[in-house]
Amino acid sequence: MFYTDIEPPDDIKIVPDKRKVVDDSFIKKVESYMKWQKIEDATIQWNDDTEVNPEMRKSKIHWMNNPEFQRVLIPIYQEVVAKVRQVNDRYWGYRVDGWEPFQYTEYDESYKGHYNWHSDTGPKCSFEDQARKISFSLGLNDADEYEGGELVLNLGSKSIHSYRLSKGEVLIFPSYILHKVTPVTKGFRKVIVGWGVGPRI
């Protein structure tokens, strides 16, 4: 667990759909942080092994937990998790004790960045007695800067919902829901994704 929030502020009102929940100053903080960070090929995890599998997932990532930049990262975490926690408390009520490191992710047209169908409740969670409960995806650039790159949620019974995130917009959903990111066919898509963790059921 990288970050635990205690008594998050209760004066922020949002709804659980894609609304602009952070402003340009937040985006600039993330961009300033990322100028000093390295990105790497995204991997997938099977049991205890990780591998690069471009058929399943093709993107560039950075885990946002560089200890040398803690003073920059903590305000970023605080702003996001306060909003995500409020949505969870209002609509699902999962016990969330803390947050895995956020992941900065880039999808580029040059390699048709994508992520095929998956759920976030697999073996990635690094705490034996914890599981991912809540997932979020936060847009970092405008939707008109890319084509494709839709976040698609499968809610069962042939209920499929697609979203093109723009700068400052967020989607929050239970981590067990199947979802994917369609190939980016033009431009460049940037997001932060993250997961709230709590006791296994």
What are the CA-CA distances from residue 85 to residues 6, 120, 140, 145 (Å)?
A: 11, 17, 20, 29
CA distance 97 to 197: 6
Q: What is the pLDDT along the chain (201 residues), one digit of tens a residue?
A: 444 444 443 433 333 444 578 999 999 999 999 999 999 999 998 777 889 999 999 999 999 999 999 999 999 999 999 999 999 999 999 999 999 999 999 999 999 999 999 999 865 555 568 899 999 999 999 999 999 999 999 988 778 999 999 999 999 999 999 999 999 999 999 999 999 999 986
The CA-CA-CA angle for residues 156, 45, 181, to 5°, reads: 45
Q: Which two tokens stand for residue 90?
A: 């209002």
CA angle 134, 105, 160 (to 5 degrees): 55
pLDDT of residue 7: 45
Cα diameter, the chain: 46
Secondary structure of 55-75 in HEC code, one letter for each residue: CCEECEEEECCCHHHHHHHHH
Place of tokens 């602009």: 20
Q: How far apart are CA 95 and CA 152, in angstroms?
A: 25
pLDDT at residue 141, rounded to an integer: 96
Q: pTM here?
A: 0.87
Q: Specify the pLDDT at position 155.
A: 86
- Domain boundaries defined on the chain: 19-42+54-199
pLDDT, residue 128, reads 65
What does the pLDDT read at residue 6?
40
Q: What is the pLDDT of residues 15-53, one digit of tens each?
A: 344 457 899 999 999 999 999 999 999 999 877 788 999
pLDDT score recorded for residue 123: 55
What is the distance between the terminal CA atoms of the chain, rounded to a whole angstrom? 18
Amino acid at 143: A
DSSP 145: G
Q: Options 2.60.120.620, 3.30.950.10, 3.40.50.920, 3.40.50.450; which CATH number does 19-42+54-199 get?
A: 2.60.120.620
